[in-house]
Structure 1
Amino acid sequence: MKNFTIYLVILVFLFVSKVLGQETFESRAKQIANKIEKVTKEEKQALKEEIEAVNVQFSEGKITQEQADKRKKELAEARAVIIEEKVTLAQNELNDLVQQKVDGKIKEGDSISKHTLIIHWNDKDWSGKKRSKDSIHGEKRTTSQFVFAMGLNNTMIDGKLQDSRYSFIGSHFYEWGFTYNSRLMKNDNLLHAKYGLSVMYNNIRPTDNRSFVVDGNQTNLEVNAINMDESRFRNVYIVLPVHLEFDFTRPKESNGKTYFRTHKSFRFGIGGYAGINVKSKQILKFEEEDLKYKTTIKGDYNVNNFIYGLSSYVGYKEMSLYLKYDLNPLFQDNLIDENNISLGLRFDLN
């Protein structure tokens, strides 16, 4: 819940900063966002190299397949912890920045660039920028966005929502990441390729005082011996999402030139995602003899190591309704396949 609150603060902060147009405020936030992106990319690359080294050991016969799989899982979990620690440091910087804004330490005048030299002579601007207020600036063909999404999460069995097995309101997902948006046609703004890197958190809360218990290669829901205040099952994934986006933003014309922009009108995207599971854990809270307990149990829970699915969104400007569905089941070998499904709000912030 702590991380969820932090990500929500990030979302609110970025939205407010865009509305108020505080350039320095936004640029400092973007630096922090870039730091998070850099950490994620570096750790992912390091994980890739470590897994390749394990594959080499296996191919040379130095370790068994079981040892290789176990080692890969350990490496992925270790990298996930490193990412979480480094991202937490960046989030603390962001919290300080937000607090400075709330305390009024970042003034209105701070939004002006401090390192730009502008000389006016006979109404000329020697900074290389036009002074006209009506000038139109087009976007680059490829732009980048910070993505944040949150909403309801559950599973489906044979096409039926399992809202009786898992709390409908209490089960949620959230996702954050970075995407690139590339206009596909030179002289038309409709079609865009949207691709990037995201971290997904899928949570389900079993109903009727139940929790997950591993029995060999099966992971079953069983009733707890004591009354639980909370039972939550969380899976964390690093994924590569790819969408074909239709953006109905109309181009602007000025002095006979056409300028293209994005995220200024209705848009929708359709595509999918694929990635790896980096963490699975179960969180149990209960009270006994006036003492409150919280237990976090980490393990693989027979969860699929990989994830892939379909996703789509439709919205206006930066906000959209977001739907994603896993094509592979949550658990590897369970007799009944459960597929994760999520519905919520998505924000793409330039």
Structure 2
Amino acid sequence: MRNLKIYLLVFVCLFGSKMKAQESFEGKAKDIASRIETIVKEEKKELKAEVEVVNEQLAQGKLTNQEADEKKKVLAEARAKTIEEKVAKLEEELHVLVQDKVDGKIKNIDTSKTITVHIDKDFFSHKKYINGEKRTTSQFVFAFGANNLVTDKQVANSDFKYWKSHFYEWGLTYNTRILKEDNLLHFKYGMSLMYNNLRPTDDRYFVKNGAQTDLITSTVHLDESRFRNVYIMVPLHLEFDFTKKEIRDDANYFRTHKSMRVGLGGYAGFRVKSKQILCFDDASGNDVEQKTKGNYNVNDFNYGLSTYVGYRATSLYLKYDLQPLFENNAVDQNNISLGLRFDFN
């Protein structure tokens, strides 16, 4: 938005016999300045009346503090836009007037006279009504990294490739500042779509064997063996945001995701689908891609713990499923993921 702190400096001069030309220039300049001041006064008056109505609704319990702040913000921005549009037209008139003077169409300027018009931009700034960001903000989240299974409480000597087994996650989160006058603690919650991919080693793949799911060796070389599980999850975190508050106009000003952040929490949700993808060459040398959908005895419900540590939008992200991957296997195997997470405001 154009800076509304406008200074109209018009120098008007008199040289005896040229009074008529001087009066024309000075009169037009004063008229423009007067009209701008009138616009500002009227808009301030209207905004003040609108804000008083919102305050009455807040006092009557018809609005929450957050709703009242949001309303005031919208009203202030609308009035500021109205001022900007109206003043822009008068600015153009003044520009033409001064240009005419520069071009010599209007003569005689007295540098002893100055007309100044000041518009208080801060009066129309929503920062007058809310302390920085809204108390609740939203972020788009995207995460990716390595994925594997913890077997017998360890990931070492895994049956799955470490760098080729991946996870992906994307979703929407909301971030609410818990304390009104302190920026440290936030409650973060939302919904995510999570893809967990496992790539077995040594030409192996999963086979459903009654209530068990076994990892067996293929009779042919597998160019690709990938087992994918897709979940819809609800993540919940307590976030420590170390972004320092600012002091503006003797008021606290809060922002998020501008410094170091730490999140502690977990997630819960349900499985959408499971799919196994096998790629190999048949006896004739043809490329074959085989996709098989099924439940593979994977638990339909999933939950776990997660944490992230980072700076600004980027974090190191760790997740661990407390629910075993398979329902009835003799040995529990729990999914674990480590990667990067991006929270975009």
With the shorter chain as reference, the TM-score category is: 0.5 to 0.7
Q: What is the CA-CA distance between 1:246 and the residue it aligns to? A: 0.3
CA RMSD of aligned residues (A): 2.1
Deviation at 1:138, TM superposition (A): 0.6
Q: How does 1:1-350 map to 2 (within 5 A)?
A: 118-119=84-85, 120=87, 122-124=117-119, 129-130=124-125, 138-161=132-155, 163-288=157-282, 289-350=284-345
Is the partner of 2:309 in helix, strand or coil?
A: strand
Could you say which structure has the larger radius of gyration? 2
Q: Against the structure 1 CA distance between its residues 211 and 127, is the aligned structure 2 distance closer, same or farther, given a 3 Å change threshold?
A: same
Supply the distance in 1 between the matched residues of 2:321 and 2:234 (Cα, whole angstroms).
Answer: 13
Aligned-residue offset at 1:225? 1.2
In structure 1, C-alpha distance between the alignment counterparts of 2:156 and 2:118, rounded to whole Å? 68
Using the TM superposition, give the Cα deviation of residue 127 of structure 1 relative to its aligned residue in structure 2, in angstroms: 11
The verdict on how the C-alpha distance between 1:224 and 1:254 changes in structure 2, with shifts beyond 3 A counting, is same
Report the equivalent of 1:77: none
Contact 2:131 2:251 in 1 (8 A): no
- Displacement of 1:239 in angstroms is 0.6
SS of match in other structure, 1:124: coil
Structure 1 residues 250-284: Cα deviation after superposition (integer angstroms, max 9, x where no partner): 00111101111100000100000000001000000
What is the CA-CA distance between 1:157 and the residue it aligns to? 1.2
- Secondary structure at the counterpart of residue 347 of structure 1: strand
**Deviations along 1:278-324, whole A, 9 cap, x unmatched?**
10000001112231111110000000000000000000000000000
CA distance in 1, matches of 2:249, 2:294: 62
Per-residue Cα deviation, 1:234-256 (whole angstroms, up to 9, x for no partner): 00000100000000000011110
Instruction: Give structure 1 stretches of 5+ with no counterpart.
Output: 1-115
Measure the CA separation in 2 of the matches of 1:305 and 1:254.
51
**Distance in 2 (alpha carbons) for counterparts of 1:309 and 1:335:** 21
SS in 2 for 1:168: coil
Distance (Å, rounded) in 2 between the aligned partners of 1:341 and 1:219: 19
Amino acid at match of 2:298: V
**Alpha-carbon contact 1:322-1:346 (below 8 Å) kept:** yes
Aligned CA distance change for structure 1 residues 256 and 235 (closer, same or farther; 3 Å): same
Residues in 1 aligned to 2:244 and 2:185: alpha-carbon distance in whole angstroms = 12
Name the % identity: 58
Return 5+ residue gaps in structure 2 as ranges.
1-80, 91-116
Asked whether the 8 Å contact 2:143–2:342 carries over to 1, the reply is yes
Question: Is the 2:160–2:199 Cα contact (8 Å) retained in structure 1?
Answer: yes
**TM-aligned CA distance change 1:229 to 1:257, over 3 Å:** same
> Structure 1 CA distance, aligned partners of 2:262 and 2:122?
39
SS in 2 for 1:334: coil
Q: Distance in 1 between matches of 2:255 and 2:248?
A: 13
Q: Which runs of 4+ in 1 moved over 4 A?
A: 125-132
Aligned residue pairs total 232
On the 8 A contact 1:243/1:272 being kept in 2, the answer is yes
Deviation at 1:124, TM superposition (A): 3.1
Contact kept in structure 1, 2:149 and 2:158, CA below 8 Å: no
TM superposition score normalised by structure 2: 0.64
Separation (CA, whole Å) in 1 of partners of 2:240 and 2:126: 33
CA distance in structure 2 between the aligned counterparts of 1:124 and 1:291, rounded to whole angstroms: 76
The verdict on how the C-alpha distance between 1:127 and 1:258 changes in structure 2, with shifts beyond 3 A counting, is closer
In 1, the alpha carbon distance for the partners of 2:172 and 2:306 equals 16
